[in-house]
Amino acid sequence: MKRLAGKTALVTGSSRGIGRATALRLAREGATVAVHYADNADAAKATLAAIEEEGGRAFLVRAELGVPGDVDTLFQGLTAGLREATGKEELNILVNNAGVMGGVKPEDLTPEIFDRLIAVNAKAPLFLTQRVLSIMPDGGRIINIGTGLLRYANPDEVAYSMSKGALDQISLHFARLLGPRNITVNTVSPGITNNGSPIFDVPEAREFMANMNAFKRIAEPEDVGDVVAFLASDDARWITGTFVDASGGTLLGG
Q: Model confidence over 184-201: pLDDT tens digits?
A: 999 999 999 998 888 898
pLDDT digits (tens, 9 = 90+) for 112-153: 999 999 999 999 999 999 999 999 999 999 999 999 888 888
- Supply the pLDDT for residue 195: 87
Active-site residue identified among 15, 160, 164, 174: 160
Give 212-247 pLDDT, tens digit per residue. 999 999 999 999 999 999 999 999 999 999 999 999
The average pLDDT across 42-59 equals 98
How does pLDDT run across 72-113, given as a tens digit for each residue?
A: 999 999 999 999 999 999 999 999 999 998 889 999 999 999
Q: Cβ neighbours of residue 130 under 8 Å, at least 6 residues apart? A: none
Active site residue 152: no
Residue 55 backbone zone (phi > 0: left; psi -120 to 50: alpha; other: beta): left
- Cα(42)–Cα(126) distance, rounded to whole angstroms? 28
Contact by Cβ (8 Å): 151, 253:
no
Tell me the pTM.
0.96
Between CA 73 and CA 79, with CA 75 as vertex, the angle to 5 degrees is 125
Give the integer Cα–Cα distance in Å for 219 and 206.
11
Instruction: Indicate if the pLDDT at residue 165 is higher than 90.
Output: yes
Query: How many percent of the chain have pLDDT more than 90?
Result: 89
Helix axes 17-28, 221-232, angle to 10 degrees: 50
Q: Cα 10 vs. chain centroid, distance in angstroms?
A: 9
Give the pLDDT confidence score for residue 225 in this predicted structure: 98
Share of the chain above pLDDT 70, in %: 100
| pLDDT value of position 224 | 97
pLDDT of residue 254: 62
Give the C-alpha separation, 214 to 219, whole Å: 11
CATH numeric code, 8-246: 3.40.50.720
In this predicted structure, what is the pLDDT of residue 103? 84
Mean pLDDT taken over the chain = 95
| pLDDT for the residue 129 | 98
